[in-house]
Structure 1
Amino acid sequence: MAGKVVLHYFNGRGKMESIRWLLTVAEVEFDEVYLTTREQYVKLLSDGDLMFQQVPLVEIDGMKLIQSKAILNYIAEKYSLHGKDLKDRVMINMYCEGLMDLMEMIMMLIFKPDEKAQLDTIQSKAKDRYLPVFEKALSGPIFLVGNKLSCADVQLLECTLMLEERFPAILADFRNIKSFQGRMSDIPAIKRFLQPGSKRKQQPDETYVKTIKEVFQIP
């Protein structure tokens, strides 16, 4: 029998946070090993655990998985959060790809010297390109695809909460998304995850950035 899931990453959100969210919704317990030193990273490399020399790294079902999209797809498939058939899955994947594009822009903010300009770009793209898609998709259904909870719903909640941290009124004109957000937040596992003291990470700070730069030897 495989042991508990173990996540190897920094003590922060980054690309691991969507994995934390999905495991939480699937009600899968997990432990975390935080990368804090260059030596830890070098050991993972020397042990052959990082196929492309990158994290996140997730130990699950006797495997050591990398590449966040592959990890998310595996978890979604295993715990029936990836639609009922191939057509559902491709729609879910399209939604997830779009959400990840938007979330990655937010993730990178703290590494950018011109944060104000970046914020303006993110807000504009969110309101003009991304949010209208989900507002339309949720004009009738409770969930995005197949009237069933999927990883796309989980990522949409994560993404909209990230947006509201930066732009508190951004959902004012997106009532369907706001209603969806409320429904999702009432799911017991998510409600617990949103409480203080859960494994959900806070917004990145200078310590998080400093650690990443030291581990990867970024000037």
Structure 2
Amino acid sequence: MSFSANVEKIKPSATMAVSALAKRLRAEGRDVVDLSAGEPDFETPGFISDAAIDGIHKGRTRYTPPAGMPELRRAIARALSERAGRDLDWEGVVVTSGAKQALFNANFCLFGPGDEVLIGAPYWTSYPEIVTLARATPVPVMGSEVRDFRLTPDDLERVWTPKTRGLIYSSPSNPTGSVYSQDELRSMIEWAHERDVWVIADEIYRCISFGDDQGTPAPGILELPPGSLGPKF
């Protein structure tokens, strides 16, 4: 008996490996600063816990519609509309069980065998594995260190081939923390539009920012700015 070829293609999460090691060392009494998994160092705020408990008591424990609860999707659309500066249709919002599922769904919908997907490097370790599971080929592309590794159209053009089908980037970036300006994003999106390349913008760390600049939403080619509300919702 053997596992599926899908399992043989992917690698274990380096993030989780380091996290497990940190937990083991801490359990042994070692003083450890864990820089592995990206999560806040505080507990879930009380009003969120209270709302979850209240929902359980009210029997809100059943299956939701596949795209998510309408009231949640409307709230997300309002938040995105305020940020984007234009009204967005709540019916274009899909709620997933975390950002990773959203990335899986997007990659499986858009890419397949023979496709290449550009990934801004340094990158979150799950990006290439998700692309690989979609049976596409991940292609890392690194911007200049002088620009904090932010990509430019020239960087993308350098690795583009007729097989290039997608681009994945994050802003604020995981792991560098660099943030794209609106002009930088617009030039990158325009390049993608000209090359007929899908763009997946991972903005999950927008609300975990230690400076004034939380970044700007990617201008959407199809009128919808790609984005993840992440921890905020």
Structure 2 length normalisation: TM-score? 0.28
Structure having the larger proportion of residues in helix: 1
TM-score, normalisation: structure 1? 0.29
Tell which has more relative contact order, 1 or 2 (C-alpha 8 A, sep 6+).
1
| Larger Rg over CA atoms | 2
